[in-house]
Chains A and B, each alone.
Chain A
């Protein structure tokens, strides 16, 4: 079955560490997105990519980085510059404008 796979489901980060969240899709979608979800804040856009080797900052890109070397993969790195990284991270993809997103099941990141 086609879909989006995020891993790991739970991730713990120590202060000062960089961590990378994985997102893989087999839907043949060109566009992929990363959102951050905090209680009561809805979903906020971190980065998005419309094509391989190209990506753009969203509303809250500071402290995050991404790469898009393959169509299927869009990993997100949470760097030590992100001061409040504890959140639920969601990856999504779509086949084009004005089509719904398909979301992964999320990664819950906690700073310890």
Chain B
């Protein structure tokens, strides 16, 4: 099955700095890669995603890059703010038939942005 590795497990930055979180996946059939933000005691929220037919996607301060040859993808947050502090998860999808898929998640990165 799919295996997703995520690094680092914790990341501390100063407000205004950039943060980068990296993930690798094992199954070359994976073709959809979402990123989620989870605040304490809440469910994860989708913040950005990328499909395998593009190499980069940007949404304001957040961007994701995908290298299918190397099987890795990264989340970039610029101009970090204290409210960006949360746990971030990457995921890779595998189709399971009937037009649906399941997501395999990385173990998460705890991002702490200090004022």
Contact = CB atoms under 8 A, between A and B. Distances in A.
Interface in B51-88: 51
Given A58-B102, A105-B42, A42 B107 contact: yes
A98 B107 contact: no
Name A's interface SS: strand
A51 interface: yes
B99 interface: yes
Interface string B72-115: 00000000000000000100010111111111111110000000
Q: Is the interface of B mostly helix, strand, loop or mixed?
A: strand
Nearest to B97: A50
Interface in A1-34: 4, 6, 30-31, 33
A71 B45 CA distance: 22
A37 B43 CA distance: 10
Contacts of B49: 100
Contacts of A4: 43
A31 B108 contact: no
Contact of A56 (B1, B36, B96): B96
A42 B100 contact: no
B31 interface: yes
Contact of B44 (A58, A59, A90): A90
B20 interface: no
Given A50-B96, A50-B98, A51-B98, A97 B43 contact: no
Contacts of B96: 48, 50, 56
Contacts of A99: 32
A100 B102 contact: no
A52 B88 CA distance: 32
Given A42-B105, A90-B44, A103-B44, A96 B1 contact: no
5 contacts: A6-B43, A30-B100, A96-B100, A101-B103, A106-B41
Given A44-B105, A50-B98, 12 more contacts: A6-B43, A33-B102, A42-B106, A45-B103, A50-B96, A94-B100, A98-B93, A98-B101, A101-B34, A101-B46, A102-B46, A104-B43
A-B pairs, 4 with minimum CB distance: A103-B43, A100-B46, A98-B32, A42-B107
